[in-house]
Amino acid sequence: MKIVVVGSGSIGSLYGAFLSQLKDTEVILIGRNPHISAIQKKGLRIKGILGDRLFKLKAMKFASEVDSADLVIITTKTYDTLEAAKSAKHLIDAGASVLLIQNGLGTEEVVAKALNTTKVLRATTCMGALRTSPGVVTATGCGLTEIGSRYPENRELVERLVKMMKEVGFKVRSSENIEGVVWTKTLVNCGINPVGALTGLSNGEVYKNHILRGLIVRLVEEAVQVVDALGVELTTDDPIRYALGTAKATGDNINSMLQDLQAGKRTEIDAITGEIIRLAKEHGIETPSNEAVYALVKALESRNLKEGKKLAEVDVLKVADLVEAITG
């Protein structure tokens, strides 16, 4: 199988590196310099909890440099999904399938509609990784990857990919309810991520603060109303307990939304909280807490991007200020 990974940052590099070990499998990483140029010169080093190994595999800046593929894996931020898919359109038009490994809602529909294909698969991951320097990725977590598709014709490929990932040591399983899987993770993200991002606190610090735990509960409760209106079957019977349990279990984690703000980058809040708010409005559901944290994150994100600041250079919200801003 020939696999092209578009958006080869930390997670994309991690999956690409290990899949490249398989017999009769070629992996090509597509990403940005200086990461790609470092891989071209010295190879890709994976460090951390999965060991310390050097992988030799192809790396390029543009998908247009690749002439054929069986599978395109997209691991970009959600706001770059469409651009990434279009960059590989020639491969998809020629028959390649697409696997989206991302946070957030709605990316499958966007890709399927824009590229006129149903060969679209979706995965969620609890793997953790950081790009610690050009050409070096440090694995920080080895959690579950779940793969599925809304399109039944992709079932065989889903099972094949599950088998391949298991063979290289990943914890992975297929799902016939990938929409429920995606929504379940989105509920966790909508509860934990904005709160951590706005306060600058780790997941564990958020969990230990009873006021912030209460805010997570309100955020998830509002989102669950949207899930119920859509008729989505979650993969947990108690999403609030699941979200709080995740915060506790990942106590040392600095969530991705906070990492983006710390780096002065755009966050993925539009594909998480923003989508929940949009769908809630369509169904006449009020989401005041989600709307409040959305506005606050977007304001901080906008200021940082405009002024070129990173979170370390600006004040984050104190817990009392955050609660007052949301509750009025």
SS3 268: coil
Residue 299 has which token pair?
């304001």
Cβ-contact 284, 245 below 8 angstroms = no
Q: Which of these is catalytic: 163, 185, 208, 309?
A: 185
- In the beta sheet, which residues pair with residue 124? 146
Cβ-contact 128, 41 below 8 angstroms = no
Spacing of C-alpha 27 from chain mean position: 21
Rounded to the nearest 10°, the torsion over CA 189, 232, 172, 170 is -20
For residues 234 and 214, what is the distance between their CA atoms, to the nearest angstrom?
A: 22
Q: Is 61 a catalytic residue?
A: no
Whether the ω angle into residue 34 lies within 30 degrees of 0, i.e. cis, is yes
Q: Which H or E run contains 53? A: strand 53-55
Counts for the chain of helices (H) and strands (E), in that order: 14, 10
SS3 280: helix
Catalytic machinery residues = 185
